[in-house]
Structure 1
Amino acid sequence: MKVREITLKNLWLENPVFVQILGICSTLAVTNNLRNTLVMTVGVCFVTALSNATISAFRSFIPRKVRMMVQVLVISFYVILVDLVLRAHLPEVSKALGPYVGLIITNCIIMGRAEAFAQANPPLISFWDGLTSGFGYMLVLVVIAFVRELLGFGSFMGFKILPDSFVPWTIMVVPASAFFVLASFIWIARTVQMKRKGGGK
């Protein structure tokens, strides 16, 4: 499978969030602050890429009956590294994210790529598949976080950018608003995809 094909699939054609509808819990929970969202999604990219590469490298030695357990163990190792780095260097962000860093372990995107791709492909291409899957996840969450923070707080990355006359949309701060923003993103993205498919026929 070509690098370009994998990149296009993971970022657009088969995006894990707006096409496969995976990783929704964190989408709803951490996207009211762009800084926290960026840190969270970078962590997911790191874990997805390295866990994919590790599982791929050792796939020949992993008994099929226990492969899921091994995958969770490998993913847990990288999640713990992310958690330790955040606690040491970004304690405020770590505290704000709370349990959601640990819940990266159960992220369907990571488990899905490990099972569907890393188990059957070489380490380097598996690393790239994991990295681009993480970027696809990041793309959607960053857009949602930008909209929610801008309308909910009038700020960007914690810095006030809208005038004082702007009245913040309180609803954008609560997790439920992520449903509406995500649904709007999915609607727009799928509409564009369908139009492009139709235009290509």
Structure 2
Amino acid sequence: MTRSDARDIAIKGLWSNNPALVQLLGLCPLLAVTGSVVNGLGLGIATLGVMLGASASASALRHQVRPEVRLPAFVLIIAAFVTCVELAMAALAYELYQVLGIFLPLIVTNCAILARVEAFASRQPLKPALFDALMNGLGFSLVLVLIGGIRELLGQGTLFAGMDLLLGDAAGDWTVHLPGDGGMLFLVLPPGAFLITGLLIAAKNAIDDAVKRRRPAPTRTPRDERRVRVTGVVR
């Protein structure tokens, strides 16, 4: 994997082809769990762990799995890693495990993971497969944390509340309180998740459009000018 390949994978996973903001995959946990930073971070770490393990396994077994059983095999691989992550979270962060509830085992059905395993990891060597999983997992996790932070800050008037559920007693005093009695409760409810997600998608599209407008127009060569006169099209 060359440096340019790694850069392309990183840009696509974190921004231009982000699983949550561009592909719109994994919206069920994205909208349901992101009521706070700790919830988004916990589910993001779990999803990233499953994505790394499943991508590495699919890459290692890419020559052994027959095409007609690829999808069932990949679902079984993902389910195995989801079970491992679920057991680890139950042992290390049981209270957060209870908060996340059914959305941990539902990682099995997260299309963001299955799509990367099928479209990329199963066709690539181990190193690019792992790097692609890392970038896409980080891109998805960052959106989870960002939405959770916005909803918690504007909806409850706090930030980093309950971080001790994930990071232990050392994070018990991380909570930041906004002045006032509270925030807009609407943003903590499911409709608030749709609103914040839509605003983030709109903001990303606006940034992309602004970047495109600032790019200099491609210069035409004499050969292009001749092609325009003959065909009317520059290829």
Question: Where does residue 97 of structure 2 map in the other structure?
Answer: 94
Question: Where does residue 162 of structure 1 map in the other structure?
Answer: 178
Counterparts of 2:48 and 2:154 in 1: how far apart (Å)? Answer: 27
Q: What is the correspondence of 1:90-129 to structure 2 with a 5 Å cutoff?
A: 90-129=93-132
Normalised by the length of structure 2, the TM-score is: 0.82
Question: Where does residue 206 of structure 2 map in the other structure?
Answer: 191
Deviation at 1:176, TM superposition (A): 1.5
Deviation at 1:160, TM superposition (A): 4.2
Question: Where does residue 137 of structure 2 map in the other structure?
Answer: 134
SS at match of 2:63: helix
Amino acid in structure 2 at the alignment position of 1:84 = L
SS at match of 1:168: coil
Q: Which has the higher contact order (CA 8 A, sep 6+)?
A: 1
**Aligned-residue CA RMSD (Å):** 1.1
Question: Where does residue 19 of structure 2 map in the other structure?
Answer: 16
Deviation at 1:198, TM superposition (A): 2.6
Which consecutive segments of 4 or more residues in structure 1 shift more than 4 A? none
Counterparts of 1:110 and 1:17 in 2: how far apart (Å)? Answer: 11
SS at match of 2:116: helix
Is 1:26 paired with 2:32?
no
Deviation at 1:63, TM superposition (A): 0.8
SS at match of 2:100: helix
Amino acid in structure 2 at the alignment position of 1:194 = D
Amino acid in structure 1 at the alignment position of 2:57 = T
Counterparts of 1:160 and 1:131 in 2: how far apart (Å)? Answer: 30
- Tell me: CA distance 1:107–1:43, structure 2 relative to 1, closer, same or farther (3 Å): same
- Contiguous gaps of at least 5 residues in structure 2: 162-174, 218-235
Question: Where does residue 144 of structure 1 map in the other structure?
Answer: 147
Question: Where does residue 68 of structure 2 map in the other structure?
Answer: 65
Counterparts of 1:188 and 1:160 in 2: how far apart (Å)? Answer: 26
Amino acid in structure 1 at the alignment position of 2:191 = A
Counterparts of 2:18 and 2:208 in 1: how far apart (Å)? Answer: 11
Q: 1:41 aligns with which of 44, 63, 78?
A: 44
User: When the two structures are aligned, how many residues end up with a matched partner?
Assistant: 200
Give deviations 1:149-191, integer Å, cap 9, x for gaps: 011111112124212x243211111112100000000000111
Is 1:175 paired with 2:190?
yes
Give deviations 1:126-169, integer Å, cap 9, x for gaps: 01101110111011111111010011111112124212x24321
Larger gyration radius, structure 1 or structure 2:
2
SS at match of 1:47: helix
SS at match of 1:167: coil
Question: Where does residue 54 of structure 2 map in the other structure?
Answer: 51
Normalised by the length of structure 1, the TM-score is: 0.96
